[in-house]
Amino acid sequence: MASGLSGKAAIAGVGYTEFSRNSGVSTLTLALRAIMAALDDAGLDPGKVDGIATHRVGDSIPAPMVAVSLGLTDPHYYVDHFGGGGSSHGLVGQAALAVAAGVADHVVCYRAINARSEFRMGGTGRPLVDHIETQYQAAYGYMAPPQYYAMMARAYMDAFGVDERHLGAVAISQRANAAHNPRAMMRDPISFDDYRASRMIAEPFRLLDCCLETDVGVALLVTTPERARDLRKPAVIVDAAAWGGGTTLQSAGAPDITTSYAARMAPRLFGLAGIGPADVDFANFYDCFTFSVLMQLEDYGFCGKGEAGGFVLDGQHRMDGRLPVNPHGGFLSEGYAHGMNHIAEAVQQLRGEAGGRQVRDARIGLSTGAPGYVGGVTSALLLRRDG
């Protein structure tokens, strides 16, 4: 049965800065540019904004500082959440709850990072992350996301017979999608030979298995459907939002690291919307690495456990397949905005604005955060076209 939130919140505007390797500006500037672009997309006066929210890991500008810079003198709602990509969709879900409850009228959610030119994930020269297990890992040089995910990927690949053909199929299809996306950082087609020739980063991950390090800002405007219908663009309805987890899967004793926290959360997410995986027209899976796409195909119920390899080799994840995955190219080819660009792309797909990468007759889209590794939390949204 659908939840009380279903149909009571909407996304009414999306805004981007350029996806680049060197923005040349501060994260405050990126945030403000993305927010103003989202407000312009919606046709909303900035003075109407009364809520602001972000997630970050010590790499961006706090939400209260952005509120001041926007001239908000009495914000009714703000969230400054310390957390990575697993928190991204929960941030928007919480904003949806706020507008549905009448706490705020118009909430802007943003992510702004100089993740290539300034604060590189897993880079040196900064304090270690504050997980308990870090003290046992850092001494062995086990500190960067590709290393963390490589361990999980190898366990998964050994369990289910997945190999470089399956990982490569994800990278190749998403690059093909990005060719139709004018925002994408990487648009040139790649072959399997190109994939295999890319250098090894952390076995089994090659360079083309890894998301892009990106300087970018992305913002979304969350409001009620009634208010959204008075704005410039068609409303995209929040059908369900869910988040979960609570421990990391690196060393917290998870019984099966070939299954992510998303598998526990997915039934709850679909139950809140009153639909199932078969009703979804496209999926924007959190693709920090190619492996995470395979795992989420299974854990969100689009195929059985151990069947994702065959799913992608058969091309069922391509634009002409059963479930188009990451039509914008995802983090692997568009750029890495730590989750927010997946939601923004879902909105554009459901508004029919995606041009050459448009999914035909898209009515319901799934967008996901990181599946629970490293940070230990995950989140996702089910969105649908209004009307």
- What is the full DSSP assignment across 298-325? HHTTSS-TT-HHHHHHTTTTSTTSSS-B
With respect to residue 292, please indicate whether it lies within any of the assigned structural domains. Answer: yes
Residues 108-130: what's their mean pLDDT? Answer: 79
Taking the C-alpha atoms of residue 289 and residue 287, their distance in angstroms, rounded to an integer, is 5
Taking residues 366-377, report their average pLDDT.
90
d(CA 337, CA 319): 22
Residue positions counted in the chain: 387
pLDDT in tens, 220-258: 999 999 999 999 999 999 999 999 987 776 665 567 889
What's the pLDDT at 230? 96
Ranges 41-45, 80-84, 296-300, 306-310: which has the least confidence: 80-84
- Residues of the chain with pLDDT > 90: what percent? 82
Q: Which residue has the higher pLDDT, 275 or 5?
A: 275
Q: Is residue 25 part of a domain?
A: yes
Ranked by mean pLDDT, the top range of 73-82, 132-141, 315-324 is 315-324
Looking at 16, 110, 286, 300, which residue is catalytic? 286
Question: Is 149 a catalytic site residue?
Answer: no
What's the confidence (pLDDT) of residue 4? 76
pLDDT grade for 142, boundaries at 50, 70 and 90:
confident
DSSP letters, 7-72, are TS-EEEEEEE---BS---S-HHHHHHHHHHHHHHHHT--GGG--EEEEEESSSS--HHHHHHHHT-
Does 45 fall in a domain? yes
Mean pLDDT of the chain: 93
Residues 6+ apart with CB under 8 A from 256: none
User: Is residue 145 domain-resident?
Assistant: no
Residue 178 lies inside a defined structural domain of this protein: no
| From 78, 195, 336, 373, active-site residue | 336
Q: Is residue 201 part of a domain?
A: no
CATH number at residue 258: 3.40.47.10
Tell me the C-alpha distance between 23 and 139, whole Å: 33
Domain coverage including residue 267: 10-120+211-385
Range with top average pLDDT, 54-58, 132-136, 214-218: 214-218
Question: In which band, very low, low, confident or very high, does the pLDDT at 1 lie, cut at 50, 70 and 90?
Answer: very low
* Token duo for residue 19: 């996806």
Burial bucket for residue 211 (CB in 10 Å: 0-12, 13-18, 19+): buried
* Residue 71 burial (CB count, 10 A): 9
Query: Is residue 235 in a domain?
Result: yes
Q: What is the DSSP string of 188-243?
A: S---HHHHHHSPEEETTEEGGGBPPP-EEEEEEEEE-HHHHTTSSS--EEEEEEEE
Instruction: Please check whether residue 146 is in contact with residue 122, taking contact to mean a CB–CB distance below 8 angstroms.
Output: yes
Q: List the one residue out of 112, 109, 143 whose CA is nearest residue 39.
A: 109
Distance of CA 297 to the CA centre of its chain: 15
Q: Is 136 or 53 the better-scoring residue by pLDDT? A: 53
Q: Is 261 a catalytic residue?
A: no
Position 86 in a domain:
yes
Taking only the tens place, the pLDDT of each residue in 39-68 is: 999 999 999 999 999 999 888 999 999 999
What is the number of domains present in the chain? 1
